[in-house]
Amino acid sequence: MSNNKKMTDEEFSKMISLLAKFANTEMDQFAVWKFKSEFGDVFINISLHAHFDNSMYNDVTNAIKKYYW
């Protein structure tokens, strides 16, 4: 992917912050979504339960900005 298409650090932080807000205010136990991208279907699974060993997940807590919620 070319650099001009990549997210900025601020865009990434906003995305993670809004997902955190969604998880804290709208989500019950899980959310499963899909959308089309230029590479094909993208599947998103947000859950209160890990699907893999906890160590396999990247902790993005530090990217969450409290001002988004």
What tens digit of pLDDT does each residue of 12-65 get?
999 999 999 999 999 999 999 999 999 999 999 999 999 999 999 999 999 998
Q: What letter would DSSP give residue 26?
A: T
Looking at residue 2, what is its pLDDT?
65
Q: What letter would DSSP give residue 39?
A: T
Q: Is residue 44 part of a domain?
A: yes
Looking at residue 48, what is its pLDDT?
93
Q: Is residue 36 part of a domain?
A: yes
Q: How far apart are CA 12 and CA 64, in angstroms?
A: 9
Displacement of CA 46 from its chain's centroid (Å): 8
Structural domain range at position 30: 3-52
- Cite the beta strand spans of the chain per DSSP E: 30-37, 40-47
pLDDT band at 67 (very low <50, low <70, confident <90, very high): low
Q: How far apart are CA 61 and CA 20, in angstroms?
A: 9
Looking at residue 53, what is its pLDDT?
94
Number of separate domains in the chain = 1
Q: pTM (2 decimals)? A: 0.81
13, HSE (Cβ side, Cα atoms, 13 Å): 10
Q: Is residue 29 part of a domain?
A: yes
Q: Is residue 43 part of a domain?
A: yes
